[in-house]
Amino acid sequence: MSRTFSKGGIHPNDSKISENAAIEQFPLPETGYVSMAQHLGAPAEPVVSPGDTVKVGQLLGKPSGFISAAVHSPFSGTVKSVEPYADLAGNKVMTVVIEVNGDEWLDTIDRTDTIVREIPYSSSEIVARIAECGIVGLGGATFPTNVKLSPPPGKKAEYLIINGAECEPFLTSDYRLMLEMPEQLLVGTRIMMKALGLEKAYIGIEDNKPAAISKLGEFRDQYRDIEIVPLKKKYPQGGEKQLIKAVTGREVPSMALPIDVGAVVQNVGTAVAVYEAVQKNKPLFEGIVTITGRCLPQQHNFRLRAGTMISSILEAVGGIPDECMKIISGGPMMGKAVSNLSAATLKGTSSLLLMTEKETKRTEESNCIRCGKCVSACPMGLEPYLLNKLGRRGMTDELEQEHVYDCIECGCCSYTCPANIPLLDVIRNSKAAVMKIMRSRPKK
Amino acid sequence: MKRLLVSPSPHIHGDESTGSLMRDVIIALSPSLLVSIYFFGFSAIKLALVGALTCVAVEYLIQKYLMKTKVTIGDYSAALTGVLLALNLPPNAPWWIMFIGSVVAIGIAKMTFGGLGQNLFNPALVGRVFLLISFPVIMTDYTTIPDSWFRPGVDAVTGATPLAIVKEGLAKGMTLTEIYGQNDFSYLEMLYTKIGGSVGEVSALALLLGFAYLLYRKVIKPHIPLAIIGTVMVFSGILWLVNPEQYTDPVFSVLTGGVLLGSIFMATDYVTSPMSNKGMIIYGIGIGVITVLIRNFGAYPEGISFAILIMNSTVPLLNKYFKPVRFGKEVKHG
Amino acid sequence: MNTIIFTVVTLSLLGLLLAVVLYFVAQKFKVEEDPRIDEVESCLPGANCGGCGYAGCRAFAESCVKAGNLDNNFCPVGGNAVMSRIAGKLGLEVKEKAPMVAVVRCSGNCDNRPKTSFYDGYSSCRIKASLYTGDTGCSFGCLSEGDCVSACSFGAIRMNPNTGLPEVDDDLCTACGACVKACPRSIIELRNKGPKNRRVYVACSSKDKGAVARKACSAACIGCRKCEKACPFGAITVENNLAYIDFNKCRLCRKCVDECPTGAIHAVNFPPKVSRPDTEAAATEGVKES
């Protein structure tokens, strides 16, 4: 019996059209654009200057604060410049531009395929390795993993949950990873269990991926401490709070963190990255990226170096089809629309999704008919129709009373609204305004 | 460089639209309409057509010339109001009554509040109650001359609704056993068909078929209809246990009159019903209680229209005080 | 007949009783307030626009009375006339302020600034700005979704559908500053209205380097400093590739307008010059923009 969360949720067509495309290595680009802001928190500080030669895996930027992450070079070659460069939304971000020359890796990185199962490190050694290698959460938020694996004093992790739900339609990078690198994933999970001092971990996988469930099930005897939890296919099953609810039955309270109910959630991609960092000494500079879309003749799952220009990826798969009108980095529910094709991919890039105008163009909004479908769909038990009304009037006090800050921006409300009201657009904006006011208040 | 579309997430949308939901409700009403055509011939379909056309026309004229806003008759909501009103009238009601009712429903109950989504009261019910108060004789005359073309050989003229017969009988001082003795009220017949009642009340089975379709298409949630039907059964059951000669039994209470039509199609109107599950249940219980009260202690034999309208006025309050349970509100450990 | 008398008497008695109750309640819960607050409030326009920095006209009046001077308080809507009346009521001094007007510092109309993408979200500058740098190549200019238009409670701003830029009506604008706060790109500025509404300003907010700015918009300030050199009064400074004219120093000579290679400097409400045809074009263009 598959588990799930109880409140709200929607059932969009999962559209996993790229699920059978095996992972391919994407060719190296001529020039790499390595952003210093590939994670949540303060951008990294560049430690190279123009003219320097760098190797794959070499440190390019050091973390500049508690919530920050190191950035390593995905390429070998010469640093051309260190300057602001537009990201996929057009905002300028400090970027190290590298003239790629060959593919020379640091000698310390173990490039063999042998699986190293022994974990001879202590908890603090593991966390330090993860921080050094610049590992960030690959589930979308790119939160620095070392911070998540160091619970604040007084709080104890009881559950480690590995998120293999991949509930967003179209995305298949986590699925391919589970199929093609199952043991790396399991060892990575064990490493994180050791870091947190836990005896047991759970891997949650939506039941629309039976192959991944059975593949990981093959290792059941060697990894008895890791339980595979099949989850019902329902969006947003992979949302952190929803996943915790489904696996443990606990609800993360409003304004609290998962660790407050003793849970730590990590993505499957992160688990593999942790394995590579700790056992193979390989920093995080590449990942699996799904290139998909109904308008594309062929679907791909690439192993791609972070810092590859989006337009060069699209050229490699045959250029942008004429009918493609929107390119999304991430899934169709929470991904970001790309406006700048010369932007480069980041560590956390999981997919490039090409959509036609028919699939994605919004319909003109009409009157709210108060059908309550948004209320039923909201996994956080909020009332999107009301938040939308208050948000349009800028009533921040009322918005706060209605817990707008609990919104996880999953998009279920906008998806389900029969009147095509852009509920999340308004709510997201109101949430930002309310959180700003709340932060500006003196702490009690 | 290619000019791309850029928008905030989500980038996909579900298949439902206002139009598709309203269309589904009209489809769910079609079994009842078909049954009524079988019994009353073209008079029923004539009412439905007059209602739908008048409602659409009134909405169009008001939006185009009075409010000067975008015309939204394409979303089927006006047509639905017309059909619902037709189902609430006696089958032999003259067409002009339908016309007046439709003008009141759309013009007064809906557009004066600002159109779709803004009205406090269910437009079709406002239309019906307006007609009931303005034309009491026509609106309670359920005499039917069956169409000989559809039902050859049947020329029976049936009179008042079972509820009216009961009410009248009780007023004369008769007991229920005596009243039942003079009339043939079998449950099975009421479930399938019972002539005597408004167009939409003829067949409980056809209404339940529509209910099943609405639930299957997830157009409505079952909370409101079940709360109303449950409350009517429980409340009238209590009264029946107190005095079975004075009060009708629960099954009879649910199958007769407009309880099914009202609870499935009128009370579940999106605009005038609460948002949260808790609110819906309280709203339904309120309708059930008021309906039984009006039936047994009021002047009218049937009270669901009034009950729904009264509860409509509490919806903003219900929405304010009965919110959905937020995620993380109840912290469970272990 | 009896019924009528009975009704009249009971209702009258009831009314009397309630009046007495109301009287005592009003006495009991009376709030002592400085009567001058009401007097000051009666002078104010009553728009409650918040342009003075207070929550509304009442709050402004309270502050005027409490502070005991008018140095930090100014009603931009009422202007000098209202302020001097308030000063008269309170027996205080008030400094004259030059009338101000909102100015849109962007000339990126559809011709100057080609669109690079289609925005398909809720029509709000703030939401658009939080999503990306906008549907043009310029990440500083107007987003054309009209947050300023909805922020204006005087109907002084309207969106020109041909240019996609907001236009301020000099006569209706009260310089309350609501649009300045509403604009996520901070392109609207309050400037001196100038004699006969004549003023010269840089209609661009781009801090991009010259070549980048020019590529995105042909009417952008490219930070070339020609205007800075041409200005005889030292009113122009160029910072972060963007020129700024200090309206307190500007003497409206319009030398900078002639110098600007992109036409980013606008001179509005001047009579057309006849001597030099090229500047005339610039001047009339400026008038159109205002």
Residue B244 in contact with partner chain A when CB distance is under 8 A: no
**Surface of A (226-265) touching B: CB under 8 A:** 241, 245, 249-254, 256, 261
CB–CB of B98/B54 below 8 Å? yes
Q: Do B5 and A320 touch (CB under 8 A)?
A: no
- Where along chain A do its domains lie? 123-280, 373-440
CB contact under 8 A, A337 and C124: no
Interface of B with C in 119-178 (CB under 8 A): none
Assess B68–A contact: CB distance below 8 Å, yes or no: no
* pLDDT tens profile A16-73: 999 999 999 999 999 999 999 999 999 999 999 999 999 999 999 999 988 899 999 9
Question: Looking at the complex, does the CB of residue B151 fall below 8 Å from at least one CB of chain A?
Answer: no
pLDDT at B334: 40
What is the structure's pLDDT at C56? Answer: 85
pLDDT of residue B192: 63
Compute the average pLDDT of residues C159-170: 91
**Closest approach of C107 to chain B, Cα-based (Å):** 22
- CA dist., res. C234 & res. C223, Å (int): 16
Number of other CB atoms surrounding residue C171 within 10 Å: 9
Give one word for B328, left, alpha or beta, with left for phi > 0 and alpha for psi -120 to 50: left
Q: Give the mutation candidate from B6, B9, B11, B12 for the C interface (greatest C CB count, under 10 A).
A: B6
Nearest of B225, B193, B200 to residue B30 by alpha carbon = B200
Residue B326 has its nearest CB partner, among A10, A381, A424, at: A381
| pLDDT higher than 80, residue B185 | no
Residue-level pLDDT at C282: 47
Q: Which backbone phi and psi does B90 adopt, to 5 degrees? A: -65, 145
> pTM of the predicted model, to two decimals?
0.88
Subunit partners of chain A (3 or more CB pairs within 8 A): B, C
Distance between C58 CA and the closest CA of chain A, angstroms: 21
Q: Looking at the complex, does the CB of residue A314 fall below 8 Å from at least one CB of chain B? A: no
Q: Quote the pLDDT of residue C193.
A: 87
Which residues does chain C have within 8 Å of residue A362's beta carbon, measured at their own beta carbons?
120-121
B9 touches C at CB < 8 Å: no
Counting residues of chain C whose pLDDT is more than 70, the rounded percentage is: 94
Pairing verdict, β A226-231 and A31-35: unpaired
* B&C contacts, CB < 8 Å: 26
Instruction: Provide the pLDDT for residue C24.
Output: 92
Note the pLDDT of residue B195: 57
Predicted confidence (pLDDT) per residue in B263-314, tens digit: 999 999 999 999 999 999 999 999 999 999 998 888 888 889 999 999 999 9
Average pLDDT over residues C216-242: 92
pLDDT by position in tens, chain A (length 444): 688 888 899 999 999 999 999 999 999 999 999 999 999 999 999 999 999 999 999 999 999 988 899 999 999 999 999 999 999 998 999 999 999 999 999 999 999 989 999 999 999 999 999 999 999 999 888 999 999 999 888 888 999 999 999 999 999 999 999 999 999 999 999 999 999 999 999 999 999 999 999 999 999 999 999 999 999 999 999 999 999 999 999 999 988 999 999 999 999 999 999 999 999 999 999 999 999 999 999 999 999 999 999 999 999 999 999 999 999 999 999 999 999 999 999 999 999 999 999 999 999 999 999 999 999 999 999 999 999 999 999 899 999 999 999 999 999 999 999 999 999 999 999 999 999 999 998 876
**Residue found under tokens 């406090």:** B120
Q: Give the C-alpha separation, A181 to A269, whole Å.
A: 10
Q: Is C131 on the interface with B (CB under 8 A)?
A: yes
Q: Mean per-residue pLDDT for B122-133?
A: 94
Q: Quick check: A429 and C127 CB within 8 A? A: yes
Quick one: closest CA in A to C127, which residue? A429
Give dist(CA B299, CA B297) in Å, integer: 7
Which pLDDT tens digit goes with each residue over B142-169?
A: 766 555 455 554 555 556 677 777 887 8
**Segment C18-36 mean pLDDT:** 88
Kindly report the three-state secondary structure assignment for every residue of C93-118. Answer: CCCCCCCEEEEECCCCCCCCCCECEE
What domains can you pick out in chain C, each with its CATH number?
Answer: 35-90 (1.10.15.40), 100-289 (3.30.70.20)
Name the minimum distance, in Å, from the CA of C128 to any CA of chain B. Answer: 8
Q: Are the beta carbons of B332 and A372 separated by less than 8 Å?
A: no
Determine the pLDDT at residue C88. 85
| Cα C88 from Cα C1, distance rounded (Å) | 61
Chain B residues in contact with A385 by the CB 8 A cut-off are 275
Average pLDDT across chain B, whole number: 86
All partners of chain B with 3 or more CB pairs under 8 angstroms: A, C
Task: Express each pLDDT in C136-150 by its tens digit.
Answer: 889 999 999 999 999
Cβ-defined contact of A426 to C120 (cutoff 8 Å): no
Q: Is A91's CB within 8 Å of C133's CB?
A: yes
Return the CATH number of A123-280, one of 3.40.50.11540, 3.40.50.10740, 3.30.379.10, 3.30.70.980.
3.40.50.11540
Examine the pLDDT at C287 and tell me if it is beyond 50: no
